[in-house]
Every structure is written in structure tokens, then in C-alpha cells.
Amino acid sequence: MSRDARVDDYIARSADFARPILEHLRELVHRALPGAEEAIKWNMPHFLISGKNVAGMAAFKAHCTFVIHGDGRQGDAMGQFGRITALSDLPAESDLAQKLQTAQGRVETSGSARKPEAPRKPNPAIAMPDDFAAALAAVPAARAAFDSFTPAQQRDYLEWITEAKTAATRHRRIGQSAEWLADGKKRNWKYEKC
């Protein structure tokens, strides 16, 4: 059990109602996770396994919060357990211990207390508009530049053109795109570092 004096100071500076809650949570974490280390992160006490966040707690003017990383969010306060104003607001110790041990298992197997994210679906393809294809065909340098870009860079141009709300705006964007592409510029070239 690794304790951090800054956590002692944090608890000592907390409001009278918060101290017993924070002390209880701290002891519970150390019982459930005997190898947990303490640290201050984001100005609040955190508990770590192998240097990875597992849980954190905080005290505010009128309530405390407790978060188990990767366990989802419930209620209107930070953390899964809503606004904690008394020990009776906490779930059963066995439930909290089980959640902490599950988070520890995620850290040990994946290196993070967060649940693994589902793989992202690729963005659907945007068909080349006929009017844009004609504009590119009229300027071979623009067509060559467009074809040399990555799919994401091509998509930037295609989205910009197809999302135009009026025909006049679309026509103007196609002309501007052909000009920029002829110079080998990406859609957001203005924001690139020189």
C-alpha cells in the first residue's frame, strides 16, 4: 500500500462532512486493491495500478464524488455514484470492491482502466460529383493533385463541395477547389504550418 502525503493534505483541507467519506473511500480502495498507489491528478486524489488510473475521488462544497475509470457514468455528478453527501449514499462495500477489482483487471490486461473502444467504422464514400469531375478534367494539374491525395484529403474537398446549400455556393467552391488543387494545396491548406 503506497500512500501519498498530498492525499492526506487534500482530505485534511476538505469540509467536515467530506473527510469521513474520503477516508472511507481511501481505505476501501486499499483493501480492494492492496497494490494501489496514490497520486494527485487533476487536483484530486487518484488510485493507480502500475501507474495507470483506476479510481479517483474529490470533495466539493456540498458533496463528494468517486469515479472508477472505465466504469461508465451515472447521475448528474462526476463519477458513477452521483453526489455523495454521506457514507449512506455509497453502494455496498462489496459492490465497490468488485468494481475496483474489475477496473484493476482491465489495467492489467489492456494497460488502461478504460473499456476497449469498438473499432471505428470507416466513413461512407462520397461519390465524385459530375460537375466537380468536369472541373478537374479541365485542369489536368488539379486532377493530378486530387488523385495524389489520401482518401481523407480527397474527402475534405468532396464534403466541402457536396455540403454547399445553394448552387451558387457549390459552383464557387468547385472553382476555388480547382484553383487550389492546381497549386497542389489541400483543402485546409491555410491552417497548415508553414
Q: According to the model, what pLDDT value does residue 72 have?
A: 65
Amino acid letter, 180:
W
Strands 37-41 and 44-49: antiparallel
Choose the CATH number for 5-110 among 3.40.50.300, 3.90.1150.200, 3.10.520.10, 1.10.357.10: 3.90.1150.200
pTM, two decimal places: 0.56
Q: According to the model, what pLDDT value does residue 162 have?
A: 95
% of the chain surpassing 90 pLDDT: 68
Q: Where are the domains of the chain?
A: 5-110, 130-191
pLDDT digits (tens, 9 = 90+) for 106-154: 888 875 555 556 777 878 889 999 999 999 999 999 999 999 999 989 9
pLDDT digits (tens, 9 = 90+) for 82-119: 889 999 999 899 999 999 999 898 888 875 555 556 77
Average pLDDT, the chain: 88
pLDDT digits (tens, 9 = 90+) for 11-56: 999 999 999 999 999 999 999 999 899 999 989 999 999 889 999 9
